[in-house]
Amino acid sequence: MEKRTIYISQPVLGEEEWQSLKGPLESGWVTQGPKVREFENLFGEKHSVKHAMATTSCTTALHLALAALGVGPGDEVLVPAFTWVSTANVVLYCGATPVFVDIDPKTMNIDPRDIAHRITDKTKAIIPVHLFGLCADMDAIREAAPGLAIVEDGACAAGATYKGTPAGALGDMGCFSFHPRKSVTTGEGGMLTTNRDDLADLANQMRNHGATISEEQRHHGPKPYILPDFNLLGFNYRMTDLQGAVGVVQMGKLDSFINERNEWAQYYKRELADLEWLQTPEVPEGNRHGWQSFATLVDESKSPCSRNEMMEKLQAKGISTRPGTHAVHMLHLYAEKYSLKPEDYPGARLVNDCSMAIPLHNRMSAEDYAYVVAAMHDL
Ligand SMILES: Cc1ncc(COP(=O)(O)O)c(C=O)c1O
C-alpha cells in the first residue's frame, strides 16, 4: 500500500468561514460584538441552556466558572486525575487546591466510586470531564457528591448528550473549547454555559474586566463617553468578533461533523474488533458521543508491542497517533507540589501509559480509514 500522511486531527475551514469574516473586517467591530452574540445564541440553543458566553478558551471559561462560584483560598475542588492539565490549573489560579479523583479505564472518565471519600468540609466543587466527547456518568457523580457545585469540563464535548440532555446543561456551569483539535473551531476560543441567572450575570461581568456594562452597550448607548463602574475583580476573557464569525459558520456544521465521525468510529469498532489487545470506546445507550477523538487502550500484556513502539511504527507509516491525554498527578508540577506518586491513581496511570488516540476527523477519506485499519493489523 502506498504511504499516506494522516494527521491526528485537521479542522474543516473554507469559503463560508472566509465570507463570514468579511462582516467584522468591513464594519471594523472586531472585539466581542454581534458575531459573538450570534455564535452564543446558536451554541446556547444547541445545548439547551439559557446562557452561553464566549471566552478566549476553555481554560478561561473554567477559570471564570470557578471565580463565579466564589472558589478561593482554603477551598478544594475535585478533578479527575486523567484530563488536560488546565482542568487542574484553573483551581490553582483561584488559590484553591485540586484534589484528584481516579478515573475508570473503561470510560477514561472520572470514576464515581472514587469520589465520596475525597470530599471534605472544604470541598467546594467538582469538575467532571467529558473526555474525548463522552459524557461522564452525571447521575452517579451527583449521587456521590450531593450538593456540590458541578462545573462540566466539556472541552471535547460540543454536541454530545447524556441520557438525552446536552453537555453544558448537566451541571451548574459547562465549559467548551474551540481549539483546532476539537470538532468545531474558532482557532482558540471557549464557551461558558449555565441555566443559572446569578452565575451568568457574574461570569458575564467578570469576562469583561468586571465592568458593569459591556463595551458594545457603552458604545451604542446614549453616553459612550462615560466609563462604567468596576465593582468586582474581572479578567479580559472576551472572544473577538472575528472568532465569533467563524464560530457561527462552524456551528452550522457541528451535527454533520459528529454524524460523520460517528459513522467512522463505528467502522473502526467493527474493523478492529478482532484485535483482542485493543479496547475501543463504548457509548452507553441513550448517549451521544461528541467524537473529538477515538481513544483506544492497549493491553500491553497481549499486544504485539508496547503502546510507545506502536505509536512509532504507525508514525513511520505516516499515521499520527497520540496518548489520549496525560495523568495530571504524574506531571512534575503536581507530583512535587502534592507529593503524589503514579500508583496513587492506578486507573489514570494505566491510561496515561497505554491509551492511544488514532486519527478520526472530517478531512479523512475512506481510503485513509482503511489504511489505518490495515496498519493496526500489521503491528
Ligand atoms: C479536557 C480538556 N479540558 C480543557 C482543555 C483546554 O481547552 P483550551 O485549549 O480551549 O483552553 C482541553 C483542551 O484540550 C481539554 O481537552
The pLDDT tens digits of the residues spanning 143-163 come to 999 999 999 999 999 999 999
Domain ranges of the chain: 15-251, 254-376
182 is catalytic: yes
Residues of the chain under the 70 pLDDT cut: none
Residue 183 alpha carbon to ligand 1 centre in Å = 13
Alpha carbon distances (Å) from 197 to 49, 126, 193, 208, 238: 11, 20, 11, 17, 19
Cell (9 digits) for 327 = 495523568
pLDDT computed for residue 215 by the predictor: 79
Q: For a substitution probing ligand 1, which of 86, 129, 176 has the most ligand atoms within 8 Å of its CB?
A: 86
Percent of the chain exceeding pLDDT 70 equals: 100
pLDDT computed for residue 228 by the predictor: 86
Residue 57 near ligand 1, beta carbon < 6 Å: yes
Residue 177 alpha carbon to ligand 1 centre in Å = 6
Residue 84 alpha carbon to ligand 1 centre in Å = 6
Q: For a substitution probing ligand 1, which of 79, 85, 109, 177 has the most ligand atoms within 8 Å of its CB?
A: 177
Measured from the Cα of 181, ligand 1's closest atom is 14
Residue 189 alpha carbon to ligand 1 centre in Å = 10
Beta-carbon contacts of residue 112 (< 8 Å; ≥ 6 apart): 137, 140, 141, 143, 144
Residue 84 near ligand 1, beta carbon < 6 Å: yes
Residue 55 near ligand 1, beta carbon < 6 Å: no
Q: Are 199 and 68 in contact (CB under 8 A)?
A: yes
Taking the CA atoms of residue 212, residue 218, residue 221 and residue 226 in that order, the dihedral angle to the nearest 10 degrees is 90
Q: Are 296 and 279 in contact (CB under 8 A)?
A: yes
Contacts 24+ apart (CB under 8 A), 271-280: 271/373, 272/296, 272/373, 272/376, 275/376, 275/377, 276/302, 277/301, 277/302, 277/303, 277/304, 278/303, 278/376, 279/105, 279/106
Alpha-carbon gap, residue 20 to 2, rounded angstroms:
38
pLDDT computed for residue 21 by the predictor: 98
Residue 58 alpha carbon to ligand 1 centre in Å = 6
Q: Are 312 and 68 in contact (CB under 8 A)?
A: no
Which among 166, 116, 233 is positioned nearest to 126, based on CA atoms? Answer: 116
Positive or negative, the CA dihedral 206, 210, 211, 212 is: positive
Centre a 10 Å sphere on the Cβ of residue 360 and count the other Cβ atoms it contains: 23
Residue 61 near ligand 1, beta carbon < 6 Å: no
Beta-carbon contacts of residue 217 (< 8 Å; ≥ 6 apart): none
- Of all helices (H) and strands (E), which one includes residue 239? none
Residue 83 near ligand 1, beta carbon < 6 Å: yes
Q: Return the CATH class of domain 254-376.
A: alpha beta
Q: Which among 106, 182, 302, 341 is annotated as catalytic?
A: 182
Q: Whose CA is nearest to atom 8 of ligand 1?
A: 58
Alpha-carbon gap, residue 253 to 159, rounded angstroms:
11
Sole residue written with cell 496525560: 326
Alpha-carbon gap, residue 368 to 358, rounded angstroms:
12
Q: For a substitution probing ligand 1, which of 56, 62, 83, 84 has the most ligand atoms within 8 Å of its CB?
A: 84
Residue 231, Cβ density class (10 Å: 0-12 exposed, 13-18 middle, ≥19 buried) = exposed
Residue 292 near ligand 1, beta carbon < 6 Å: no
Sole residue written with cell 463565579: 68
pLDDT computed for residue 222 by the predictor: 86
Percent of the chain exceeding pLDDT 90 equals: 95
Q: Are 153 and 127 in contact (CB under 8 A)?
A: yes
Kindly report the CA angle at 63 between 41 and 323, in degrees rounded to 5?
95
Residue 152 near ligand 1, beta carbon < 6 Å: no
Residue 179 alpha carbon to ligand 1 centre in Å = 8
Please tell us whether the domain made up of 15-251 is placed in CATH 3.40.640.10: yes
Residue 155 near ligand 1, beta carbon < 6 Å: yes
- Evaluate if pTM is beyond 0.95: yes
Q: Is 226 helix (H, G, I), strand (E, B) or coil?
A: coil
Instruction: Tell me the HSE value of 77 on the side-chain side, using a 13 A CA sphere.
Output: 32
What is the edge-to-edge ordering of all strands in the sheet holding 149-153? 51-55, 190-194, 173-177, 149-153, 123-126, 76-80, 97-101
